[in-house]
């Protein structure tokens, strides 16, 4: 099942929102001179870069399988969220540099009221777009849209903290609060960036499906093992929105090919019913053949190689 083409529409929405918030937050910074508001504007600049990367990734992920990519192009989404995480870390470094400079050389804030109102408008845009992206990410199981949405929500909380900080500086006259708040913003988005990079790395490493989905697969398989067949060599992985499940089914040696094939089709259908967007690979083996039990390990190639070596030594004796 290909990635729905309209997912790119959400990326364009994110780009438009990023352009609008960059303009608004930059204007708020220029009016007030607050390094906290500057840090907020820099994070929106990262949002723009991330949205552009997301657009490219979703366009690639939507391509159908081809001769060189038989399993599709869905892993492109992991590159997008990984790049977004890296961009967040770059933004955090820039914010930290500006904040330390302002901490060493404090500067009074100006036109705080107007600057705060503009920043609130930008925050409202991010809230609305983040909710749309998060809903779409969950509906279409897109890590790219979900990462973009969570980044925007992080930006929202950042903006709220910065606005409160700017108001506190204006009320107390404690200029050092402004750069300190900017440093806290940097620390917060570093945590967010590390999380995104980690999730992308797990996806690119072909990690197994989440525990709840693996349990659902096991429950389906257990219902069949109670009927006199055996199952082993279960492997799962996720690639973007796609799931891949493979396993071996062992049946009595006297079964016909048609009967075994019918059973596999039924098992595969039941698994697809509990795991959305799943591709299921099965392998039929006879219960009474010793070779059927030599490939239960996760590394089937190594297991079979060792078995063949042992068989060769026995034959030479």
C-alpha distances (whole Å) from 161 to each of 22, 27, 28, 154 are 17, 18, 15, 11
CA atoms of 226 and 33, how far apart (whole Å)? 71
When pLDDT is cut at 50, 70 and 90, the band that residue 299 belongs to is low
Number of other CB atoms surrounding residue 84 within 10 Å: 27
Provide the pLDDT for residue 48: 81
Q: Quick check: 4 pLDDT over 50?
A: no
When pLDDT is cut at 50, 70 and 90, the band that residue 314 belongs to is very low
**Mean pLDDT, residues 108-118:** 85
CA atoms of 122 and 20, how far apart (whole Å)? 7
79-92 confidence digits (pLDDT tens): 766 777 777 777 77
Please, what is the average pLDDT of the chain?
79
Number of other CB atoms surrounding residue 289 within 10 Å: 11
Burial label, 246 (beta-carbon count in 10 A; 0-12, 13-18, 19+)? middle
Give all domains of the chain, ordered by start, each with its CATH number. Answer: 7-204 (1.20.1510.10), 211-316 (3.30.70.1350)
CB-based burial, 30-42: b 16+ in 10 Å, e otherwise: bbbbbbbbbbbbb
Provide the pLDDT for residue 317: 44
**Mean pLDDT, residues 293-313:** 57
Provide the pLDDT for residue 310: 47
CA atoms of 82 and 243, how far apart (whole Å)? 20
39-81 confidence digits (pLDDT tens): 778 778 777 877 787 777 777 776 777 777 766 677 676 776 6
When pLDDT is cut at 50, 70 and 90, the band that residue 313 belongs to is very low
- Which tokens sit at 85? 């995480």
162-173 confidence digits (pLDDT tens): 888 788 888 888
């Amino acid at each position: 099942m290909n990635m729905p083409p309209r997912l790119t529409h959400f990326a364009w929405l994110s780009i438009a929102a990023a352009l609008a918030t960059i303009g608004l937050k930059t204007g708020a910074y220029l009016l007030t001179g607050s390094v906290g508001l500057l840090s907020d504007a820099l994070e929106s600049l990262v949002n723009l870069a991330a949205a552009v990367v997301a657009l490219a990734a979703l366009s690639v992920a939507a391509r159908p399988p081809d001769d060189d990519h038989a399993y599709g192009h869905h892993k492109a989404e992991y590159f997008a969220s990984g790049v977004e995480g890296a961009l967040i870390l770059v933004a955090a470094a820039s914010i930290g540099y500006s904040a330390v400079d302002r901490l060493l050389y404090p500067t009074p804030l100006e036109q705080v009221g107007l600057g705060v109102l503009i920043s609130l408008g930008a925050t409202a845009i991010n809230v609305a777009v983040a909710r749309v992206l998060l809903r779409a990410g969950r509906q279409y199981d897109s890590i790219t849209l979900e990462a973009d949405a969570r980044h925007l929500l992080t930006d929202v909380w950042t903006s709220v903290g910065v606005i409160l900080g700017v108001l506190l500086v204006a009320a107390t006259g404690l200029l050092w609060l402004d750069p300190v708040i900017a440093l806290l913003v940097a620390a917060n988005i570093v945590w967010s960036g590390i999380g995104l990079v980690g999730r992308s790395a797990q996806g690119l490493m072909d990690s197994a499906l989440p525990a709840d989905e693996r349990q659902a697969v096991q429950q389906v398989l257990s219902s069949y093992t109670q009927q006199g067949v055996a199952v082993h060599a279960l492997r799962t992985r996720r690639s973007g929105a796609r799931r891949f499940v493979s396993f071996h089914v062992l049946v009595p040696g006297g079964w016909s090919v048609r009967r075994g094939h019918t059973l596999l089709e039924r098992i595969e259908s039941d698994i697809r019913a509990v795991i959305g967007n799943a591709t299921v690979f099965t392998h039929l083996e006879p219960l009474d053949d010793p070779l059927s039990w030599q490939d239960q390990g996760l590394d089937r190639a190594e297991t079979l190689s060792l078995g063949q070596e042992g068989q060769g030594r026995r034959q030479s004796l």
